[in-house]
Amino acid sequence: MTMQRALDIFWSWVIKALAALALFALAFVVLFIVQEALPLFGEVPVADFLLGTRWMPVDFGTGTSFGVFNFIAGTVAVSLLALALAALVGLGAAMFLACAQSDLVRAVSYPFIDLLAGVPSVVYGFVGLLVVAQVFMAAGISTGLCIMAAAIVLAVMILPFLISSCSESLLAERNRFLLAAQTLGVSRWSAMATIVLPAATRNILLSLVLAIGRAMGETMAVMMVIGNANVFPTLLGKGETIPSVIALEMGTAVAGSLHYHALFAAGMVLMLVLLAINLLVSLLRNRLSQEGRRSVALGGYGGRRAGAVARIWAGASYALVVVAVLFLFGYVFWRGAHTISWEFLTQPPSGLVLGEEGGIAPAIAGSLAFTACAVVLGGIPAIACALYVSFYVRSRRMAGLIRLVVQCIAGIPSIILGLFAYSFLVRDLAWGRCVLSASTALAVMVMPFIEVRAEKAFSELPQAVVNASYALGCSRFHAIRTIVLPACKGELVSGVILGACYALGATAPLLFTGGVAFAGMPTSIMEPAMALPLHLYLLVAQGATSLDTAFGTACVMMALILASNAVATAYAHATQKDWRR
């Protein structure tokens, strides 16, 4: 056996091991959560837990009870409402994009709308608190915090996912039908409304179901705007979601107490619901592609008038989305720009009331440390997993299973990952509150994100090139090392940078694992550190006196995200190889 062959086998095993690691992460997290949740049901019957409305986890003399019905109702209510709003606007914007004449409009719009996806959840909560809640307060609701406000904020958050997946399906259907419809004399918009839209209905419904999964797992933004009261949700009343209750009460719960197990149980309920949704979508998708092409009933939704209505609706939705993006970035930069200075970026916070003087340098450095660690811990298994699925896997069923597992990992709410990291890493393994604990949670969060992008990059490589290298006698790993990776370098790096952005904005996993209110510049991964989103959240909690610093922090975060997005997109573009030459 030559050295070359031995190395080849070694590296192949490394890739397979890392891919397996990524997949076991899901199994491990799920099992851990279930294991910590089950002791509750020894004391509290399942029916009481799911249907009870009294949640008093600590005994103040009136006894304890654990009923999460209102929380489940709150989660479902906010998510459904947000989905309705997002669907209304998102579908219109997707139609506009799919129907747009030129590729240029699409090429510019997609990254622009994707900026919304990059904005951290805590910034959404922040702006929601200052803008949306104020609007409701002016309308007469006390404090302005209500289900409706949370639904609006959540709707803006799921818009980018909805728009990109819906416009993809609409575009595919458009390419199939539009030309034929136009030759038959149907006008463009009429065709969109009566032919393309009905044809894409099934795929759109699938996208909506996936989006609801994302909406249900959202923690920070919703927590800041929903009011947090254990009551049955009404449109203009307060409510509470499962992620909120976990985030608010996790630290209080004494480890091993019934309260602790109850929080895990609530998290388990949420996680199981989301896993079920993902499984459902996956099954439906398989069922769909098997059914093949079906004929579409013409004149589906409306007729001649439909075209005009569709046009107005699409145009208005698109405009609304653009305004939303511009407003979000503009508002934060306008209010925060004057706080930014060289001192702000390089000095630690100081002052008798912390945060009023000095800057946020340790938070910036801390965030970078968390992100770098998370990307290394999560990116390597992610790319290995993508390599395995693209080049090593033998059966399609295995590939499908792996994709399902990755999608399920993506569906785990970030607060549950934080819960897992706190319980397992900080306490059981005694790593303590440190960058490593938090980064592990972030790594699990980021892994599916990078894996999906890496897989897409590898699939765009023409199979002919890889096959030719095999035919010439290259071993698989040699082909990967010398052909695949250099060719896909741009997309991979871009995916990793975007994954880093995603990790940068995450707050929930940091809350109890490694983020602190004050620390010096980070010097070790076994020590805790400050982080930008956590710093922002704490400043908001501190109230009006720290608002300027809060805006400055939000500004820095948004600027970092804009810059990374720009770098990632530009790099991917620059290194894109045109294989058709």
Tell me the C-alpha distance between 581 and 413, whole Å.
Answer: 44
Contact with another protein (CB under 8 A) among 20, 130, 248, 308: 248
Does position 288 interact with another protein (CB under 8 A)? The reply is no
3-class DSSP assignment, residue 20:
helix
Tell me the C-alpha distance between 450 and 56, whole Å.
Answer: 41
3-class DSSP assignment, residue 2:
coil
For the record, the structure tokens of 236 come out as: 């203009």
Does position 482 interact with another protein (CB under 8 A)? The reply is no
Tell me the C-alpha distance between 212 and 273, whole Å.
Answer: 11
Map the footprint of another protein across residues 561-580, applying CB under 8 A: none
Map the footprint of another protein across residues 296-355, applying CB under 8 A: 348-354
Tell me the C-alpha distance between 83 and 442, whole Å.
Answer: 26
Q: How far is the CB of 84 from another protein (least distance, A)?
A: 25
Does position 560 interact with another protein (CB under 8 A)? The reply is no
Contact with another protein (CB under 8 A) among 64, 143, 187, 201: 143
Contact with another protein (CB under 8 A) among 467, 523, 563, 576: 523
C-beta separation of 400 from 467 below 8 A: no
Q: Which stretch binds another protein (CB under 8 A): 190-198, 224-232, 277-285, 442-450?
A: 224-232
Q: Any idea which residue has 């607060």 for tokens?
A: 415
Does position 520 interact with another protein (CB under 8 A)? The reply is yes
Which CB atom, from 57 or from 300, has the smaller least distance to another protein?
57
- Closest C-alpha among 532, 332, 504 to residue 414: 504
Tell me the C-alpha distance between 581 and 573, whole Å.
Answer: 17
Tell me the C-alpha distance between 304 and 190, whole Å.
Answer: 6
Which CB atom, from 77 or from 561, has the smaller least distance to another protein?
77
Q: How far is the CB of 267 from another protein (least distance, A)?
A: 16
Map the footprint of another protein across residues 51-80, applying CB under 8 A: 56-58, 60-62
H helix runs in 412-484, sequence order: 414-420, 435-460, 463-471, 476-479
Does position 234 interact with another protein (CB under 8 A)? The reply is no
Does position 533 interact with another protein (CB under 8 A)? The reply is no
Tell me the C-alpha distance between 551 and 360, whole Å.
Answer: 12
Contact with another protein (CB under 8 A) among 121, 194, 230, 317: 230
Q: Which stretch binds another protein (CB under 8 A): 90-98, 159-167, 246-254, 493-501?
A: 246-254
Q: How far is the CB of 397 from another protein (least distance, A)?
A: 33
For the record, the structure tokens of 417 come out as: 């990952």
* Beta pairing class for 65-66 and 55-56: antiparallel
Q: How far is the CB of 455 from another protein (least distance, A)?
A: 24
Which CB atom, from 91 or from 496, has the smaller least distance to another protein?
496
Looking at the DSSP bridge assignments, the partners of residue 56 are 65
Q: Which stretch binds another protein (CB under 8 A): 23-31, 36-44, 141-149, 197-205?
A: 141-149
3-class DSSP assignment, residue 394:
coil
Contact with another protein (CB under 8 A) among 189, 420, 458, 512: 512
Which CB atom, from 7 or from 209, has the smaller least distance to another protein?
7
- Closest C-alpha among 156, 261, 254, 172 to residue 211: 156
C-beta separation of 87 from 208 below 8 A: yes
Amino acid at 334: W
Q: Which stretch binds another protein (CB under 8 A): 151-159, 250-258, 286-294, 495-503?
A: 250-258
C-beta separation of 243 from 150 below 8 A: no
Does position 109 interact with another protein (CB under 8 A)? The reply is no
Does position 139 interact with another protein (CB under 8 A)? The reply is no
Q: How many CB atoms lie within 10 A of CB 148?
A: 21
Which CB atom, from 244 or from 414, has the smaller least distance to another protein?
244
Map the footprint of another protein across residues 409-448, applying CB under 8 A: 426-427, 430-434, 436
Tell me the C-alpha distance between 160 and 151, whole Å.
Answer: 15
For the record, the structure tokens of 100 come out as: 């747009």
What is the DSSP annotation of 250-281?
A: TTTSPTTSHHHHHHHHHHHHHHHHHHHHHHHH
C-beta separation of 452 from 402 below 8 A: no
Q: Find the distance separating the first CA and the last CA of the chain, reported in whole Å.
A: 39
Q: How far is the CB of 329 from another protein (least distance, A)?
A: 26
Does position 18 interact with another protein (CB under 8 A)? The reply is no
Amino acid at 56: M
What is the DSSP annotation of 567-581?
A: HHHHHHHHT---TT-
Q: How far is the CB of 523 from another protein (least distance, A)?
A: 5
Query: What would the x/- binding string for another protein be over residues 385 to 414, using CB under 8 A?
Result: ------------------------------
Does position 493 interact with another protein (CB under 8 A)? The reply is no
Q: How far is the CB of 447 from another protein (least distance, A)?
A: 18
Q: How far is the CB of 219 from another protein (least distance, A)?
A: 13
Does position 538 interact with another protein (CB under 8 A)? The reply is yes
Give the binding site for another protein (CB under 8 A): 3, 7, 56-58, 60-62, 137, 142-143, 145, 227-231, 238, 248-249, 251-255, 348-354, 358, 369, 426-427, 430-434, 436, 511-512, 515-520, 522-528, 538, 540-545
